[in-house]
Structures are given as structure tokens and as C-alpha cells.
């Protein structure tokens, strides 16, 4: 049995979308998808998004910065993975760059060092080339850049 879709009128959709955005920071892409889910399409959906931007409910740069900081500080993601997440939200290259600039380099390096140290402890025995590849792969899966990973691993060896 298929769920009944409710078609919202423009005003009701605007109010509901405003509440949706007030609850937590949203991207234009998320809001557009939610509007489509509510049965609001085309020009109405785009006008609602413009209105929400004008009212300050949607701000792509603010969204990008918040997502980047959250993913870095809570999940310890690297810049590559954060960039991919922002691209999934259709965030502009300018806002992605701005968001990544908010992550301090020293904190970024400390985070990667900590991740590598924790993973090294979980790998028993002497660090062999195979274990080194596992460390690199793990750090890459967290979204860190290969050059930075190798640089930090080399510094840790010395």
C-alpha cells in the first residue's frame, strides 16, 4: 500500500520549510529535496528557496562551514572526505574552499597524528611495509591527503 502524498500550497510549504531550516542548518539541495517530497515543484519550490535565503534561513557558506567543522571535530574526517560530503550537497567550490579554510592546519595535523597513533596501537608487532600500507589506507579512508599521511608517518619513524 502506497503512502498518500500531501500536496502543500505555497504558503504552507514556505512555513514548513522555514521550520525545517530553523531546526538545523540545511543546504539548498536538502531543502529542494524536502520540498519535492512535500509535492512542491518547479517555480514554487525555487521561489520558496529564494525566500528562505532572503530571510536568512538558508546560507550555503554557513552550511558548508558548519558541516566541515562538525565532520572534522566530531568524526575526525579529513579534507578530502569533507569536500566529497559538501559536493553531495551541491555546495559551490567557493563555499567548499571557505569551509576548509576554517580548519586550522595545526589541529588538522594533530588530528591525523592521533588517528595514525591509535591505529598503530591496534596493529600488533613491528611496523612492516604491509602494516604501513594499512595505516595509509586507513587514514585515506578517513579523508586525509596521501602526501600529508606519508609526511607524518615519516616524521613519526624518525
pLDDT of residue 9: 83
Q: Which residue has the higher pLDDT, 123 or 6?
A: 123
Q: Which positions ≥6 away from 90 have C-beta within 8 Å?
A: 27, 28, 29
Give the residue carrying C-alpha cell 569536500: 83
- Tens-digit pLDDT profile for residues 47-85: 999 999 999 999 999 999 999 999 999 999 999 999 999
pLDDT of residue 157: 74
pLDDT of residue 104: 96
pLDDT of residue 7: 72
**pTM score above 0.95:** no
Confidence of residue 5 (pLDDT cuts 50, 70, 90): low
Contact between 82 and 99 (Cβ < 8 Å) = yes
Would you say residue 114 has pLDDT above 70? yes
d(CA 145, CA 158): 21
pLDDT of residue 6: 64
Instruction: State residue 110 phi and psi, 5-degree precision.
Output: -60, -40
Give the residue carrying C-alpha cell 558541516: 67
Amino acid at each position: 500500500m502506497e503512502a498518500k502524498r500531501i500536496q502543500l500550497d505555497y504558503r504552507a510549504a514556505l512555513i514548513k520549510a522555514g521550520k525545517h531550516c530553523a531546526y538545523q542548518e540545511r543546504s539548498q539541495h536538502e531543502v529542494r529535496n524536502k520540498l519535492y517530497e512535500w509535492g512542491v515543484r518547479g517555480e514554487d519550490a525555487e521561489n520558496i528557496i529564494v525566500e528562505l535565503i532572503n530571510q536568512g534561513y538558508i546560507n550555503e557558506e554557513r552550511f558548508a562551514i558548519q558541516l566541515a567543522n562538525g565532520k572534522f571535530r566530531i568524526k575526525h574526517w579529513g579534507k578530502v572526505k569533507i569536500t566529497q560530503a559538501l559536493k553531495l550537497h551541491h555546495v559551490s567550490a567557493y563555499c567548499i574552499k571557505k569551509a576548509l579554510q576554517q580548519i586550522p592546519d595545526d589541529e588538522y595535523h594533530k588530528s591525523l597524528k592521533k588517528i595514525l597513533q591509535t591505529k598503530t596501537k591496534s596493529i600488533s608487532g613491528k611496523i612492516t611495509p604491509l602494516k604501513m600500507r594499512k595505516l595509509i589506507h586507513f587514514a585515506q579512508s578517513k579523508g586525509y591527503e596521501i602526501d600529508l599521511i606519508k609526511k607524518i608517518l615519516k616524521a613519526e619513524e624518525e
